Structure 1
Amino acid sequence: MVEQLSLLAGEREVDDTAADIADPCEESGTSVSPMLPPAPLNGLSPSLERKRLQAYLALLVGDVAILLAAFYTVSILYFGTLSNWAMLEGGMISAYVILPLYLTVALYNGTYSRRSLTEWQTSAFRAATALVIAAALVNLLAFFAKSNAEFSRMVFALGLASTAVLMTAMRIAVSRALIRKWGPTSLNKMVLLAGGPKLNLPHALHVNASEHGLEPALDDPRALDRLSKYLRNMDEVIVSCRSEDRAAWAQVLKGSGIHGEVTHQLPHEIGAIGVVHYDAAGVSALKVSSGQLGIRARVAKRLFDATVSGLVLLIAAPLMLAVALLIKLEDGGPVFFVQKRVGRGNRFFAILKFRSMRESDDNGAQSTSLEDDRVTRIGRFIRRTSIDELPQLINVLKGDMSLVGPRPHALGSKAGSKLFWEVDRNYWQRHGLRPGITGLAQVRGHRGATDTETQLSNRLLADLEYMQRWSLWQDIAILAATLRVITHERAF
């Protein structure tokens, strides 16, 4: 964990990498006060998520090596031979059987979890539990298969005991090394001081909101984009704010895709449960958001996205080259349409599409109509067949988007006469996941221009339902359903 970094008024200890980064408000023409530090594009702290994954993998590989090495060594000592593999193999059969069972139980009981990285007692206990359960299952299977005689009981018992001792020793060493490197937790934690009670937490970043121009401006995407750059790479964020700002901060945190808390004095005064108490500071916080997906789900979704999008890009490469050539030949303009959209955590990103119109609308304020004369001849075809969306596979490979998720909207998109976020205060919650090329709303027919507020509300409800019920199988089902609606009557 990073060392505590105080960013209170009068102290300018922002990450040096932020000095050369331009704020998105400056890019869009909105002036930024020269007194404010530039927003840190890559966050105030390096992400610990990838490092945690590496630590989990190291523990897993270490467990495999220890179990096999322990049983092999015990077999050599017990049978007294290095060359008689047939005899040694008899002692190793139990290791080969117990290993997959151990890993299965360990992956489900939290042996490889955030808490286990820095608390060796927890990690060792869960590993030992997984070993005991796996050993019991092996004996049960051997009993019913009437193959107990094939196992050496002495090798089995000594191998398990040696494995447990060595796994514990490894966890003590790993835990101490990570604590020296990260601190007592494996989390990036931020305290955002926004006018509420002073809250000083050890091993956390402390940021003064007014000092850095951070506010929960639900009617200003650029302000939310600036805030998202500070929240980037954070695992937990605690906002200490005024009572009148709690609802707005809660909405912002719900759309951040991370664990978020908002302080409140009343729960501490009445001793409420289900909230987070910071007794040393005399402050309590109400948990208002959490990461949409666990780390296993995020890894599975990302691997699925990268694999499928890479394969589709290879298969569709000839078609995409032909479309690019036709676009260029029709009017000589650029092949791609690039537009700023709102992505995960309310951060801006540049979406790629094949250009289908003569005139670009950078903010998306003017929706495309049925007889829109801005649409080119090739543009009308690629829009109706959804071919114009294919370059977004590049966005997926870059990590800006996912194959399935809430569709990213342009900043000026309107439902009727209102901007999207003016229609429903829950709009920003849909940005807790990466935006998708397709989504639940699209396969339900909620596509094309939003002429009414009801159309936007229907899309939002579908997006929030998708986020609450996410599973990899649901993504596969939505992709399959998308094939039926690639061509649709509302693709103008």
Structure 2
Amino acid sequence: MEPSNARSGLDGSAAMTTGRPPIERRRRLSPAALAVTGQKVRPAYSPIVIAGAVRVADFLLLSLVGVSLYLGYVARLTAFHWEYIAAIFGMTATAVICFQASDIYEIQIFRGQLRQMTRMISSWVFVFLLFIGASFFARLGTEISRLWISAFFFVGMAALIAERLFLRTMVRGWARQGRLDRRTIVVGSDHDGEKLIEALKTQDDSDIDILGVFDDRNDDRALDTCAGSPKLGKVNDIVEFARRTRVDLVLFALPISAETRILEMLKKLWVLPVDIRLSAHTNKLRFRPRSYSYLGKVPTLDVFEAPITDWDLVMKWLFDHVVGALVLLLALPLMAVLALAIKLDSPGPVLFRQKRFGFNNVRIDVFKFRSLYHDQADPLASRVVTKNDSRVTRVGRFIRKTSLDELPQLLNVVFKSNLSLVGPRPHAVQGKLQSRLFDEAVDGYFARHRVKPGITGWAQINGWRGEVDSEEKIQKRVEFDLYYIENWSVLFDLYILLKTPLALMTKNENAY
């Protein structure tokens, strides 16, 4: 396999003089910002997914206890009755509903012990009193084993307590690792920003981790530190900062009256896969309470939300790995034939790696079947393949026309998880329209990278694939990609995936 040979630290002019491939330009950050980006940060866990998983675990645990006790005692003495099984599932579902009503499915509650145990035990007692009362009025008291109901109550309670103690240990460990923190940067290093940070820091059980503040102003209004949080740079630095370290939330401390300034900043920041909110902490203008989302007790107004998060992200991950593994198994015979044809057609490796832009503009290695002669490989795709390109092999022309050269990217999906089956196509890091990089040719180009790129996408099945030789082609790709991001669903992914083979056969006039 031919490795990518991209190198860092070269600009365009240096690349021309040395003959080495250029790479994407990177903005310089302040020493304070570099100190933050240099810290080791682990991926975040979604509190919503954790709470959902605990609900499922509660239901399965209590159902297992109830059914095991029934099969181990009652069913051995009497004939098997499905009514018991129905009653067990009904009681278990009622218990989960009561736990939900008691607000014990929250990360802050999972971290504690006394409140969690008190609410859980009270809810479990209520469920059994409710069941016993219903049995009495239905005159089923003589048909229900008292030993079984007593054992279910006490063993179920013991199982729940053990589960919650284990969960408490897990959650506290995740909290120490920073996996439950919302890594936040504040825009506005003035007195309003200071009040906002102070309000966030004084809250109990807050998951907000303030990394620092950004501000464009250089006058006396801009503070070097805001309530202990350092100034990390200017607003233009935020995009580069968020690509070097995990940022979950951008919080504006500017007043709503600064509409022009806010809009200018949002035009720069909306390309990031982060939540962006406007603090209403110091605003005199008040809206209805339902208009706000709250960080503890601090009211905020949602401006942008990160796409495909929480359960949507879980569903997309499952779709990619389950469907991707099935497609890979079905494609293995064809891939073996193509590998043999490539090997017989020209000397060199069968596969090669090409540098592409991945999620949040991070560079990734994408696997492809080799379609160019080995001595003319172009790992950064700095030179676009055109019609009748002499670098393309005979087999290469066929696999490029049919997009079969993309099949090895199933390895990226299933094993490396840096690609999805469906998403915006990952363009090469040196992809250009004439002499301009794609991000220079199209405003908001990097907004495509707010989600993981894909093997196929909405733009591709609508005919926007292959050579990019006009501004319209790259603009249309971006438009279709942004539409996909805003309207994503599992069914949408499935529709695109099923329509891809037909699109490859009928809309391949730009593929060379």
Deviations 1:148-167 (A, max 9, x none): 89974979987997799668
Q: Please, which of 388, 399, 403 is the counterpart of residue 421 of structure 2?
A: 403
TM-score by length of 1: 0.70
Q: Secondary structure at the match of 1:421?
A: helix
Partner of 1:322: 337
C-alpha root-mean-square deviation of aligned residues, in Å? 5.2
Partner of 2:395: 378
Deviation at 1:205, TM superposition (A): 4.4
Tell me if structure 1 keeps the 8 A contact 2:124–2:157. Answer: no
Q: 1:452 to 1:484 in 2, by over 3 A?
A: same
2:475 paired with 1:479:
no
Partner of 2:90: 98
CA distance in 1, matches of 2:118, 2:487: 33
CA distance in 2, matches of 1:372, 1:69: 68
Deviation at 1:393, TM superposition (A): 0.8
| Unpaired stretches in structure 1, ≥5 consecutive residues | 1-21
Deviation at 1:302, TM superposition (A): 1.2
Q: 1:227 to 1:214 in 2, by over 3 A?
A: farther
Q: Please, which of 243, 262, 265 is the counterpart of residue 228 of structure 1?
A: 243
Q: How does 1:203-352 map to 2 (within 5 A)?
A: 204-207=209-212, 224=239, 227-231=242-246, 234-238=247-251, 246-247=262-263, 250-251=266-267, 253-261=269-277, 268-272=283-287, 274=291, 286-352=301-367
Q: 1:82 to 1:309 in 2, by over 3 A?
A: closer
CA distance in 2, matches of 1:490, 1:132: 67
Deviations 1:87-112 (A, max 9, x none): 38547333454278669979999986
Deviation at 1:293, TM superposition (A): 2.0
CA distance in 1, matches of 2:462, 2:159: 50
Letter in 2 for 1:490: N
Deviation at 1:436, TM superposition (A): 0.6
CA distance in 1, matches of 2:78, 2:172: 45
CA distance in 1, matches of 2:437, 2:7: 23
Tell me if structure 1 keeps the 8 A contact 2:187–2:254. Answer: yes
| Unpaired stretches in structure 2, ≥5 consecutive residues | 1-5, 11-21, 202-207, 216-229
TM-score by length of 2: 0.68
Query: Bigger CA drift: 187-196 or 391-400?
Result: 187-196
Identity %: 25
Q: 1:409 to 1:254 in 2, by over 3 A?
A: same
Q: 1:256 to 1:126 in 2, by over 3 A?
A: farther
Deviations 1:32-74 (A, max 9, x none): 879858688997432242898577545533442234435766x
Q: 1:391 to 1:131 in 2, by over 3 A?
A: farther
Letter in 1 for 2:457: G
Q: Secondary structure at the match of 1:204?
A: strand
CA distance in 1, matches of 2:310, 2:121: 20
Q: Secondary structure at the match of 2:283?
A: helix
2:489 paired with 1:489:
no
Deviations 1:111-170 (A, max 9, x none): 86657645887999899999999x999x99x9xxx9989974979987997799668756
Deviation at 1:376, TM superposition (A): 1.9
Question: How many matched pairs?
Answer: 452
Q: 1:305 to 1:84 in 2, by over 3 A?
A: closer
Deviation at 1:208, TM superposition (A): 5.9
Tell me if structure 2 keeps the 8 A contact 1:55–1:117. Answer: no
Q: Please, which of 406, 429, 438 is the counterpart of residue 389 of structure 1?
A: 406
Query: Bigger CA drift: 448-457 or 58-67?
Result: 58-67
Q: 1:171 to 1:33 in 2, by over 3 A?
A: same
Deviation at 1:375, TM superposition (A): 1.8
Deviation at 1:418, TM superposition (A): 4.5
Q: How does 1:76-91 map to 2 (within 5 A)?
A: 82=73, 85-87=76-78, 89-90=80-81
CA distance in 1, matches of 2:179, 2:118: 17
Q: Secondary structure at the match of 1:191?
A: strand
CA distance in 1, matches of 2:98, 2:448: 33
2:184 paired with 1:196:
no
Q: How does 1:404-419 map to 2 (within 5 A)?
A: 404-415=422-433, 418-419=436-437
Partner of 1:451: 469
Tell me if structure 1 keeps the 8 A contact 2:273–2:306. Answer: yes
CA distance in 1, matches of 2:43, 2:510: 41
Q: Secondary structure at the match of 1:45?
A: coil
Deviation at 1:297, TM superposition (A): 2.1
CA distance in 2, matches of 1:476, 1:322: 27
Deviation at 1:251, TM superposition (A): 5.0
CA distance in 2, matches of 1:262, 1:432: 20
